[in-house]
Amino acid sequence: MTLSAETKCIHLAERIERTATDCCTTKESNPSPHYGAVSFPIYQTATYTHPEVGQSTGFDYSRLQNPTRAQVEKIVAQLEGGIDAFALSSGMAAITLLMEIFKPGDHLIIDNDLYGGSIRLFDAVSAKNGIRFTRADISTDSIEPLFTDSTRAVYVETPTNPMMHVTDIAKLASICRAHGVILIVDNTFLSPYFQNPLALGADIVIHSGTKFLGGHNDTLAGFLVTKSADIQEQLRYLIKTTGAGLAPFDCWLILRGIKTLALRMERSQENAQKIALWLKKHPLVKRVLYPGLPEHPGYRIMQKQARGFGSMLTFEVKDSETAKRILKSVKLIQFAESLGGVETLITYPITQTHAEVPESLRLKNGITESVLRLSVGIENSDDLIADLAQAFSQE
């Protein structure tokens, strides 16, 4: 049975197929392993018994694997079209694990505009371990001259955090294949509901599951998804070795969050589009960066490679005093780091998500004291706009 994206958020295709087969057998000959539970159980156990030497239930120790973790990994792999997914304790844990597939002397081409935590990891940890990086505006620059004999991967976010640059994934994947390197795409901002980089030629997809996949700002999680059997083998070995796998209860929270992913993404996108149009007309706003606006440089690419524009937007006001006044004055909208939850959050990148990014790089990317980032939630859009209006009007 072919399932839609909405249905894949709730059901595994393999479960549907198994149910069709099971209907022809008796309960006694084929009992349900979960006693018919509709909500997938939380297997809060560290270890598992074995019938005898040489026999296993398939689970040995929860650092290696756990049934609840296996379920959320199957769901995320299904949504992204990968052969396997890996659930980790945070988005940064996922990126840290990924960096372990590289060795000293390896070279990566990375986008200029990345989440501040990723930049910190690359500069403070990965570089110390001998991995070299070259930065570029991958959405606009030709990166052909940047490849060397030691280049092993290209790493992008699309759209980027926070300046909303959009990269043509299929075009970049073609370039990477020509040079024999892998393409890594952080798909956190759009989620697998709106965009599937593996289908466009990427080799690895990253998600901060804390964000849209969880959707409720109540847990941390990270995911890696791949379509490569070789990369799958490396990551499966590394996740059991390093021990950063996601705990059972957190896996269950992500499973619960994903069930409403489609509804949340559609509603928050609808709200974001209305807010972007309102911000465009406000005299204190210098520019609005939202890929759902036709004037955005990435608008046509997004129409080609994604099924939506998402609910993340960045805007620049006239000066830092205006930005700080808005942050102080919002009431319904909450001044907080993070994104992707049902609540609308406003973030000040210069002191929060990108506080530790070198000033020269921040300014080069356009992240100034007058830039604000909005993660639009599922509240009533009129209420959100009214809150912004009153915050803008404060003296």
Spell out the residues 6+ positions from residue 222 whose beta carbon is closer than 8 angstroms to its own.
87, 88, 89, 90, 91, 92, 93, 94, 95, 206, 207, 208, 209, 210, 246
pLDDT band at 32 (very low <50, low <70, confident <90, very high): low
Is 237 annotated in the active site? no
Is 348 annotated in the active site? no
Place of tokens 């009129």: 382
Of all residues in the chain, the percent with pLDDT exceeding 70 is 95
Spell out the residues 6+ positions from residue 314 whose beta carbon is closer than 8 angstroms to its own.
162, 163, 164, 288, 289, 290, 371, 372, 373, 374
pLDDT band at 18 (very low <50, low <70, confident <90, very high): low
pLDDT tens digits, one per residue of 46-95? 999 988 898 888 899 999 999 999 999 999 999 999 999 999 999 999 99
pLDDT tens digits, one per residue of 248-292? 999 999 999 999 999 999 999 999 999 999 999 999 999 999 999
Q: Which of 119-123, 196-200, 326-330, 354-358 shows the lowest per-residue confidence on average (mean pLDDT)?
A: 354-358
Say if CB 276 and CB 293 are below 8 A apart.
Answer: yes
Is 299 annotated in the active site? no
The two tokens of residue 62 are 């929860």
DSSP letter, residue 125: I
d(CA 249, CA 88): 13
Say if CB 163 and CB 365 are below 8 A apart.
Answer: yes
Q: Write down the pLDDT at residue 27.
A: 40
Which domains, and CATH codes, for the chain? 5-252 (3.40.640.10), 261-393 (3.90.1150.10)
CB burial of residue 149 (10 Å; 0-12, 13-18, 19+): exposed
DSSP letter, residue 40: P
pLDDT of 29 strictly over 50: no
pLDDT band at 23 (very low <50, low <70, confident <90, very high): very low
Average pLDDT score over the chain: 94
* Sheet of strand 107-111, all strands in order from the earlier edge strand to the far edge: 84-88, 222-226, 204-208, 182-186, 151-157, 107-111, 132-136
Q: Which of 8, 111, 113, 115 is catalytic?
A: 115
Strand partners, 346: 335, 374
Q: Write down the pLDDT at residue 96.
A: 98
Secondary structure class of 353 (helix, strand, coil): coil
pLDDT tens digits, one per residue of 138-193? 999 899 999 999 999 999 999 999 999 999 999 999 999 999 999 999 999 999 99
User: Letter for the amino acid at 84?
Assistant: D
Q: Which of 69, 211, 264, 267 is catalytic?
A: 211
User: Letter for the amino acid at 109?
Assistant: I
Q: Please provide the size of the chain in residues.
A: 395
pLDDT of 36 strictly over 90: no
How large is the greatest C-alpha to C-alpha distance in the chain, in angstroms?
74
d(CA 220, CA 170): 30
Secondary structure class of 313 (helix, strand, coil): strand
pLDDT tens digits, one per residue of 42-60? 999 999 998 889 888 889 9
Q: Which of 22, 60, 63, 236 is catalytic?
A: 63
pLDDT of 21 strictly over 90: no
Average pLDDT estimate for 222-246: 97
Say if CB 252 and CB 68 are below 8 A apart.
Answer: yes
Q: Write down the pLDDT at residue 2.
A: 82
Average pLDDT estimate for 346-369: 94
Is 63 annotated in the active site? yes
Q: Residue 65 to residues 9, 87, 219, 250, 253: CA-CA distances in angstroms?
A: 22, 10, 19, 14, 17
Q: Write down the pLDDT at residue 17.
A: 66
Q: Which of 111, 113, 168, 186 is catalytic?
A: 186
Q: Write down the pLDDT at residue 212.
A: 98
User: Letter for the amino acid at 131?
Assistant: I
